[in-house]
Amino acid sequence: MAPSSSPNSLPQNMLEALLQKLGTAVLARVGTGNTFHLIGDPPPWWATTFKTSPESLIDVGSLAPFLQHFLDESESAWRTDPDRVVRSGPWSHRDLTSILHQFEATALTASHRPLLLIERVDERFDQIQTLLQQARDQRLHHIDQVKTHERTQTSLTGSLAIATQERDDVLALLQHLDLAAIVTNQEGRVTFISPRCLAWIERPSTRVIGQPWEQSLPLESADRKHLRQTWDALTPQRGRRPLRLTSTTPRWIEYEIHADPQSSERRIILLHDRTEVQHLRQQLDHQTQFHDLVGRSPAMLQIYQLVRDVARVDSTVLIEGETGTGKELIARAIHYSSPRKDRPFIAANCAGLTDSLLGSQLFGHKRGAFTGAIDDHHGLFESTDGGTLFLDEIGDIPTSVQTSLLRVLQEKEITRLGETRPRKVNVRILAATHHNLNEDVIRGTFRADLLYRIRVARIHLPPLRDRRDDIPLLVQTLLGQVCATTGKAITDLHPDSLHLLMTYSWPGNVRELKSAVEFAVISARTTCLMPSDFPEELRHTQRDHRPPFSLESHHTEPKTLLLRALQQAQGNRTEAAKILGISRATLYRRLLAHRIDVAE
């Protein structure tokens, strides 16, 4: 190092002392090889690191392999670029006691002399290493975290794929089984709905998922209420009756509500399409039942069709048949199948009433028209305006009333008793009788022109004995009605009981059958109706198949029939009424009408 000429320059000895204080060994190159000599005193670490004498020339390349490499790297700078400073970067080297230390070398040219500075940088190195260690540890930790996240993600993706596959399998299974299913959460909101169910309700899943379940099914209010009650029962159960989905394609469904095995608060609703079954059931019902009429015998099926036919027109209909065969039921069926079904249906029994009473009842009266007419009164025709008036026992109406009735049928107007001004009425007449009106006409007790007017169409109801095949169905139906009324649970009919019912002649027809079933239900001690439960007369009446009294009524005078029945019943009017298949009240009316002494 050349001595400084500037007055501010450090003296040579001071500079060397400074470098020693800084722990830097300064070596000056001797010649062009790897031989250097130390300038000034070496730093304290020199003696414990290198086996060289500070005073002798030093072959730097032999001190450490790294220094040999660095000399090669620095050669071009010393030779061609004196302004360049070459730094080695840190390297590690073991001292004479094998302790690893960190050094850094710098090659530079000063005053045309190649110099090599060697520093021991342990302290600085430790600081840098600590920082770098922390940075790399954090990096490794971050990599571990990312890897963990990736593994978790992979695991979740795998789980999701499995769950999706399982879901698809379940969906495929549901589709294959043609099952429609809905799953709800604890709040009753839909969390899953099968494609089949979506197709039925004709809504996209986006409009159903998350919605309250009861809003997802298009139901009528009664069905919705029923479903709600089943839901609120909280126990797994099957719906007691099918529901009707009111979608574009209406569908009948049966349903089951189950608790989710995984969570009792969740529900699984399974829906089954029963549309076809329901249609078949309706067809069957249609064939076996018509309004309140029961029976599937050919005669009854023919009558159902006849009722449908006459319901479409506005003609007067004469309904014939023995007492208890259901003539009023036919009248009601016609009315409720007709366009007049939303207007009144009124039934009037014409038997046993005097001229004035019947006339007043049918046509109304003006105040003072007769004794007891204390106020204006409109009759059944006016009350029935727009609807259907059923005149039962029309064969029993007095001649004067027949005339008025004929006028109504011809002119469509009535005149109240005591008035002269006719009033227009729009009433369809349905009439019924157990008489043979042809004979009544011949006898002169019934107007022929009225007969032709009321018999525009006619329906003849067969007696029950002529349609015995309907008896089991009738008993089943009546049993259901009676059990519902009485609250008794009768489930079976003993075969002997059925035999009894099938062989009895049923002079009172279905009405008598219903009474017998009521009696049996009340008498029954078990859930099965035994022969002993039925009325005694069924069990003790001789099983002849002769037509009963009433069957002959078309050919025999009513008074004769009454007298014969009283004779057979030995004057017991209740028994006589039973023989005739009529009520005691009707028997009384007829006895009065025929002026038969009714005294006991």
The sign of the torsion formed by the CA atoms of 388, 390, 395, 398 equals negative
CB of 45 to other proteins, least distance (A): 17
Query: To which H or E segment does residue 282 belong?
Result: helix 275-288
129 touching other proteins, by CB under 8 A: yes
522 touching other proteins, by CB under 8 A: no
Which is closer to other proteins, CB of 114 or CB of 398?
A: 114
Which is closer to other proteins, CB of 121 or CB of 201?
A: 121
Which is closer to other proteins, CB of 67 or CB of 347?
A: 67
Query: To which H or E segment does residue 283 belong?
Result: helix 275-288
Cα–Cα distance between 85 and 580 in angstroms, integer? 142
Residue from 46, 125, 336, 588 binding other proteins (CB under 8 A): 125
238 touching other proteins, by CB under 8 A: no
Segment interacting with other proteins, rule: CB under 8 A, options 83-91, 370-378, 496-504, 560-568: 83-91
Segment interacting with other proteins, rule: CB under 8 A, options 133-141, 196-204, 444-452, 519-527: 133-141
Closest Cα to residue 76, out of 131, 32, 20?
32
Which is closer to other proteins, CB of 91 or CB of 588?
A: 91
Residue 77 has which token pair? Answer: 């700078």
CB of 55 to other proteins, least distance (A): 28
For residue 47, give every residue at least 6 positions away whose Cβ sits within 8 Å of its Cβ, in sequence order, or none. 54
135 touching other proteins, by CB under 8 A: yes
Which is closer to other proteins, CB of 140 or CB of 161?
A: 140
Cα–Cα distance between 253 and 535 in angstroms, integer? 43
Residue from 45, 46, 66, 519 binding other proteins (CB under 8 A): 66
Task: Count interface residues toward other proteins (CB under 8 A).
Answer: 24
Cα–Cα distance between 185 and 163 in angstroms, integer? 18
Which is closer to other proteins, CB of 129 or CB of 574?
A: 129
199 touching other proteins, by CB under 8 A: no
Closest Cα to residue 405, out of 372, 452, 438?
452
Contacts (CB under 8 A) with other proteins, residues 22-61: none
Cα–Cα distance between 212 and 216 in angstroms, integer? 7
Which is closer to other proteins, CB of 73 or CB of 187?
A: 73
136 touching other proteins, by CB under 8 A: yes
Work out the angle between the directed axes of helices 558-568 and 584-593 (0-180°, nearest 10): 130
69 touching other proteins, by CB under 8 A: yes
Segment interacting with other proteins, rule: CB under 8 A, options 135-143, 389-397, 441-449, 530-538: 135-143
Residue from 40, 61, 90, 547 binding other proteins (CB under 8 A): 90
Residue from 3, 7, 31, 89 binding other proteins (CB under 8 A): 89
Which is closer to other proteins, CB of 46 or CB of 125?
A: 125
73 touching other proteins, by CB under 8 A: yes
Q: Which of 507-537 are b and which e, b meaning 16 or more Cβ less than 10 Å from the residue's Cβ?
A: bbbbbbbbebbbbbbeebeeeebbbebbbee
Residue from 139, 167, 207, 238 binding other proteins (CB under 8 A): 139
Which is closer to other proteins, CB of 69 or CB of 241?
A: 69
Residue from 111, 133, 400, 523 binding other proteins (CB under 8 A): 133
Residue 119 has which token pair? Answer: 């520093």
Cα–Cα distance between 311 and 437 in angstroms, integer? 23
429 touching other proteins, by CB under 8 A: no
* Plot region of 107 (φ>0 → left; ψ -120 to 50 → alpha; else → beta): beta
Segment interacting with other proteins, rule: CB under 8 A, options 86-94, 358-366, 404-412, 581-589: 86-94
Cα–Cα distance between 567 and 586 in angstroms, integer? 18
Show the site string, 326-365: x = touches other proteins by CB under 8 A, - = not.
----------------------------------------
- Scanning the structure block, which residue is given the tokens 């003790």? 540
HSE of 157 in the Cβ direction (CA atoms, 13 Å)? 6
Query: Phi/psi of residue 168, each to 5°?
Result: -60, -40
CB of 102 to other proteins, least distance (A): 7
Residue from 5, 80, 97, 100 binding other proteins (CB under 8 A): 100
80 touching other proteins, by CB under 8 A: no
Cα–Cα distance between 24 and 568 in angstroms, integer? 153
Residue 273 has which token pair? Answer: 């399409």
Strand partners, 256: 238, 270
Closest Cα to residue 38, out of 117, 121, 119?
117
Contacts (CB under 8 A) with other proteins, residues 524-553: none
Residue from 18, 140, 161, 448 binding other proteins (CB under 8 A): 140
CB of 223 to other proteins, least distance (A): 60
CB of 80 to other proteins, least distance (A): 16
Q: How far is CA 535 from CA 22, 275, 587, in A?
A: 135, 43, 21
The DSSP annotation for 563-583 comes to HHHHHHTTT-HHHHHHHHT--
Running DSSP on this structure, what letter comes out for residue 463? P
Residue 346 has which token pair? Answer: 């009124």
Coil vs helix vs strand at 340: helix
159 touching other proteins, by CB under 8 A: no
118 touching other proteins, by CB under 8 A: no
Show the site string, 436-465: x = touches other proteins by CB under 8 A, - = not.
------------------------------
Running DSSP on this structure, what letter comes out for residue 274? -
What type of residue is 274? R
What type of residue is 196? R
Give the helix ranges, DSSP H, for 487-572: 495-503, 509-523, 536-540, 558-568
Cα–Cα distance between 360 and 380 in angstroms, integer? 9
Which is closer to other proteins, CB of 147 or CB of 443?
A: 147
Contacts (CB under 8 A) with other proteins, residues 299-328: none
99 touching other proteins, by CB under 8 A: no
137 touching other proteins, by CB under 8 A: yes
Which is closer to other proteins, CB of 90 or CB of 531?
A: 90
Residues contributing to the site for other proteins (CB under 8 A)? 64-66, 69, 72-73, 89-92, 100, 102, 125, 128-129, 132-133, 135-137, 139-140, 143, 147
